[in-house]
Amino acid sequence: MYIRKQRLLTPGPTPLYPPALHAMMASDIHHRTEDFRKVYRSCLADLKEVMGTAHDLLMFAASGTGAMDAAVSNLFSKGDKVVVCSAGKFGERWAEIAKAYGLDATVLTAPYGDVVTPQRVEAALAQEPATKGVFVQASETSTGAMHDVEAMGRAISKTGAIFVVDAITGFGTMPLDIDGWGLDVAIGGSQKAFMIPPGLAFMSVSPKAWKLAETATLPHYYFNLKKEKKSGDAGESSWTPATSLILALAEALRYVKQLGMPHLIVNAQMLAQATRAAVQALGLELFAPGSPGSSVTAVKAPAGMDSGVIVKEFRSRFGAIIANGQGTMKGQIFRVAHLGYFDFADLFGVVAELEIILNANGHPVQYGTGVAAVEEVYAHAAVEPQTKKA
Amino acid sequence: MYIRKQRLLTPGPTPLYPPALHAMMASDIHHRTEDFRKVYRSCLADLKEVMGTAHDLLMFAASGTGAMDAAVSNLFSKGDKVVVCSAGKFGERWAEIAKAYGLDATVLTAPYGDVVTPQRVEAALAQEPATKGVFVQASETSTGAMHDVEAMGRAISKTGAIFVVDAITGFGTMPLDIDGWGLDVAIGGSQKAFMIPPGLAFMSVSPKAWKLAETATLPHYYFNLKKEKKSGDAGESSWTPATSLILALAEALRYVKQLGMPHLIVNAQMLAQATRAAVQALGLELFAPGSPGSSVTAVKAPAGMDSGVIVKEFRSRFGAIIANGQGTMKGQIFRVAHLGYFDFADLFGVVAELEIILNANGHPVQYGTGVAAVEEVYAHAAVEPQTKKA
């Protein structure tokens, strides 16, 4: 028995920003009052600001998957031809939703760890000009790979299709020019770079997407984009909002704005770069070396070692909750997250702990080797010390 | 700008145990109700259990210094001969309190970083058999040194003097057999190994101390040991208690009991041992190498470097709040704490950060060297992985 603080270090839920957590204590507020409308309006405005879009921004009391469902059920009709890019568990989710609503989906698959290229999307659109929509993950959380949504967006915007991007772990970990790159729908979730607990989903909707909504005939009720837009304009949500989470979000967005979204992204990128350097210094292999994103870094377990052992020992020895592989990758990889409220101190701990776990399980490494690699990245990043509390 | 979480890593206030922090939210409770008396009684009983004493246990809404004041003002009379052991800022505080109340104090001083030996105490008592009390710090927080209170207690118990021990950073960092070693008064504080915010002081009182109280004539009002004992027996405090802190304490004591006080002590000892190994591996000198305690490790800044620079860069670069030297030691040393809710992940971060700070300030070290020393200590401690959440 010794002290091991529970540290939530997964790619969602992510570590909580304490002032946001404390703000939830003010939940003795009624949602149909001007006090709450003020908070709700500020969240919508701040989300638009940090997401960098002039498009409409909607918020749902739902997890990210709810907004994915909403995009399909509100913007499409049964039998619509769509293209789904699938390079992991969340790509498969797009395919499942498309199937559930009876869309006619062409699924472009790439092996886990790899990505679907913009060229393949372009070719699919050329082959089927009637395509109504393209679905992708900006960042595929299950593998840590990042899609080139900029190139995809530029290609798709020349067609009649809308581009629907699951940016749930993309926001805050990679630049995303929603309006400039033609991301017609971009979806985010509260428990990712936004540093608060799960339960809220965000969605930007472009004029091109609204246009498609006009002819869409799929049934829906709770997720009603038009109704939600109208409610949001009045500073409210259509249905009862998750007030505690909205209060937390307002506080977290204040912090993200103070930090600056570009700095939040650089923060994740630095930690991802340092993680890649560390695990390679320890003789481990990256799972997605070709297109590594900065939301999470997937690492292959050493040959003959179940990654579940690593994940389990992080918890049992140090109280750290890190992620195993998902789906078919379970046992093969483990994932170190960087998105949201993560800092170098978190990473120093994770890497030192990894060194101990590897050594204790038949993969001898020199203590300190991985941590030294992280320190090198820090030193060369030449990040300026901060002068005020943040 | 990048993320640096604020981490409170000083030897008091110490890092907070989150469930204790959350328990403070239940403060809408009245202190003269059976609901609250139940909590108050459990705190007194649990404190006695974890402090390992059958003596009376009193609690005050005050900082530790309040209990130090209470010990003097309740147990002594003007002009009483006492012996004060002073080996740092807190030893000096005993001397100041003795002076404020007009005691006739013989102050046995030792240089900062050193300790007063039991032999010196014994000699002083032999020289002045009328001595009514001896005052000491179990752990001198300003230097990290630890007094041999066991040997002192055994010597003092043979005399008519009572032994008054400031164990504010001693509890939870070193074995303290209050009853067996003859610690007539032992004082603790909430913001130390008890893992909650400042504002509560604890004090055990032996039969020998109560006997002295009968003849004591110094004036006092708020700090009234007899009154507080009577109130505590009724499950209350004499004056309005700090309810939020009592609620937090009840939660923290539940955790300390679950962990086991001996394990809490071993935890601090392991972290202290690892810290000593790390800073020496980095070519730094310990400030109190002779009698190092496990509440805090004081480290000399490299020659020509102000320790304030190190403390400042911990804050500015990494958001970590560590302690500078106190009093005349300011600028000379920095202090890394271990008491209470600290774990290896905290230490991995602190040591990696120290490596970066030293390198950036003209004291080149090989990255990873100190962290590797911590990992070695962890590996050799052969601490068993924990099976249930704690």
The distance of B342 to chain A (nearest Cα, Å) reads 7
**Does B62 share its domain with B105?**
yes
Q: Residue A320 belongs to a domain with what CATH number?
A: 3.90.1150.10
Has residue B386 been placed in a domain?
Answer: no
Q: Are B248 and B23 in contact (CB under 8 A)?
A: yes
Name the β-bridge partners of A200.
A61
**Does A90 share its domain with A197?**
yes
Residue numbers in A near B313 (CB within 8 A): 385
**Does B306 share its domain with B349?**
yes
The distance of A363 to chain B (nearest Cα, Å) reads 14
> Where in A235-362 does DSSP place strands (E)?
296-300, 320-321, 323-324, 333-337
Q: Is A383 a residue whose pLDDT tops 60?
A: no
Pairwise CA distance, residues A349 & A319, whole Å:
11
Read off the pLDDT of each residue in B113-133 and give the average, rounded to a whole number. 98
Residue bearing the bigger pLDDT, B257 or B384: B257
Q: Cβ separation of B5 and A375 shorter than 8 Å?
A: no
Has residue B387 been placed in a domain?
Answer: no
Pairwise CA distance, residues A204 & A225, whole Å:
10
pLDDT at residue B1, rounded to an integer? 74
Condensed to tens digits (0 to 9), the pLDDT of residues B296-312 reads: 999 999 999 999 999 99
Chosen for mutation from A1, A257, A341, A386 (greatest number of chain B CBs closer than 10 Å) is A1
Q: Are B135 and B164 in contact (CB under 8 A)?
A: yes
Residue numbers in B near A319 (CB within 8 A): 343, 345, 386, 390
**Does B104 share its domain with B58?**
yes
User: How many CB pairs below 8 Å do chains A and B form together?
Assistant: 165
Mean pLDDT of all residues belonging to chain B:
95
Read off the pLDDT of each residue in A140-156 and give the average, rounded to a whole number. 97
Q: Is A287 a residue whose pLDDT tops 80?
A: yes
Q: Are A232 and A59 in contact (CB under 8 A)?
A: yes
Q: Is B59 a residue whose pLDDT tops 80?
A: yes
Q: Are A345 and B341 in contact (CB under 8 A)?
A: no
Q: Residue B137 belongs to a domain with what CATH number?
A: 3.40.640.10
Has residue B389 been placed in a domain?
Answer: no
**Does A277 share its domain with A249?**
no
ipTM tops 0.90: no
Has residue A56 been placed in a domain?
Answer: yes
Q: Cβ separation of B356 and A376 shorter than 8 Å?
A: no
Has residue A156 been placed in a domain?
Answer: yes
Condensed to tens digits (0 to 9), the pLDDT of residues A45-77 reads: 999 999 999 999 999 999 999 999 999 999 999
**For residue B169, with 0-12 CB atoms within 10 Å meaning exposed, 13-18 middle and 19 or more buried, which class applies?**
buried
**Does A223 share its domain with A173?**
yes
Longest dimension (CA), chain A: 64
Among B267, B320, B346, select the one facing A2 at the smallest CB separation: B267
**Does A311 share its domain with A247?**
no
Minimal Cα distance from B265: which residue of A? A2
**Does A176 share its domain with A83?**
yes
Q: Cβ separation of B349 and A353 shorter than 8 Å?
A: no
Condensed to tens digits (0 to 9), the pLDDT of residues B254-292 reads: 999 999 999 999 999 999 999 999 999 999 999 999 999
Cβ neighbours, 10 Å, residue A127:
10
pLDDT at residue B383, rounded to an integer? 56
Q: Is B387 a residue whose pLDDT tops 90?
A: no
Q: Cβ separation of A344 and B353 shorter than 8 Å?
A: yes
pLDDT at residue B253, rounded to an integer? 98
pLDDT at residue A83, rounded to an integer? 98
pLDDT tier for residue A389 given thresholds of 50, 70 and 90: very low
pLDDT at residue A191, rounded to an integer? 96
pLDDT at residue B382, rounded to an integer? 59
Q: Cβ separation of B1 and A343 shorter than 8 Å?
A: no
**Does B221 share its domain with B284?**
no
Minimal Cα distance from B266: which residue of A? A2
Among A1, A359, A368, select the one facing B379 at the smallest CB separation: A359
The last residue of a domain, from among B258, B293, B325 = B258
Chosen for mutation from B21, B244, B261, B348 (greatest number of chain A CBs closer than 10 Å) is B348
- Three-state DSSP class for residue B161: coil
Question: How many structural domains does chain B have?
Answer: 2
**Does A230 share its domain with A301?**
no
pLDDT at residue B386, rounded to an integer? 43
The last residue of a domain, from among A233, A258, A283 = A258
Longest dimension (CA), chain B: 64
Has residue B366 been placed in a domain?
Answer: yes
**Does A268 share its domain with A236?**
no
Say what percent of chain A tops pLDDT 70: 98
Containing structural domain, residue B265:
7-13+261-381
pLDDT at residue A390, rounded to an integer? 34
Q: Cβ separation of A371 and B348 shorter than 8 Å?
A: yes
The distance of A2 to chain B (nearest Cα, Å) reads 5
Has residue B67 been placed in a domain?
Answer: yes
Structure tokens at B324: 């500078």
The last residue of a domain, from among A237, A258, A279 = A258
CA distances to A192, A373, B221, B379 from B288, rounded to whole Å, are 45, 32, 39, 25
Has residue A388 been placed in a domain?
Answer: no
- Three-state DSSP class for residue A388: coil
**Does B226 share its domain with B324?**
no
CA distances to A116, A184, A333, B196 from A159, rounded to whole Å, are 19, 12, 38, 61
The distance of A234 to chain B (nearest Cα, Å) reads 33
Mean pLDDT of all residues belonging to chain A:
95
Condensed to tens digits (0 to 9), the pLDDT of residues B316-355 reads: 999 999 999 998 899 999 999 999 999 999 999 999 999 9
The distance of A20 to chain B (nearest Cα, Å) reads 13
Pairwise CA distance, residues A293 & A289, whole Å:
9
pLDDT at residue B328, rounded to an integer? 87
pLDDT tier for residue B385 given thresholds of 50, 70 and 90: very low
